[in-house]
Amino acid sequence: MYLSHPVRRMCDDPMPDETASLVVEPDGDAGANRAAMESTLEDVGGSIEDELRFGSFLVTLPEENVSTLCSRDGLARVETADTLGLGIEKE
């Protein structure tokens, strides 16, 4: 799984009381993984904010739980929304 540098820093040194906005790309078909993604995010106090092009999701969760999210199976890529400039086009 690919983790951007800022996501790795959040995993190693999370800021208390901060919220992370991340772009998460699941492995495989995104449509089949939405329910699994919602379940995974529920476990870490997060939620899906939007579905993005190419099967990715814009999600938010407490920064302290980013490392738990990133340790889960079924994810291909996790980047910050800021890294991608929020110029992501919706489906």
* pLDDT, tens only, 13-60: 999 999 999 999 998 755 557 888 898 899 899 999 998 888 889 999
Instruction: Compute the Cα dihedral for 60, 61, 64, 67 and give only its sign.
Output: negative
Section 2-23 average pLDDT: 95
Number of domains in the chain: 1
Domain that holds residue 13: 2-79
Q: Is residue 18 part of a domain?
A: yes
pTM here? 0.84
Q: Is residue 84 part of a domain?
A: no
* pLDDT, tens only, 74-89: 899 999 998 655 554 4
Phi-psi region of 44 (alpha: psi -120 to 50; beta: other; left: phi over 0): alpha
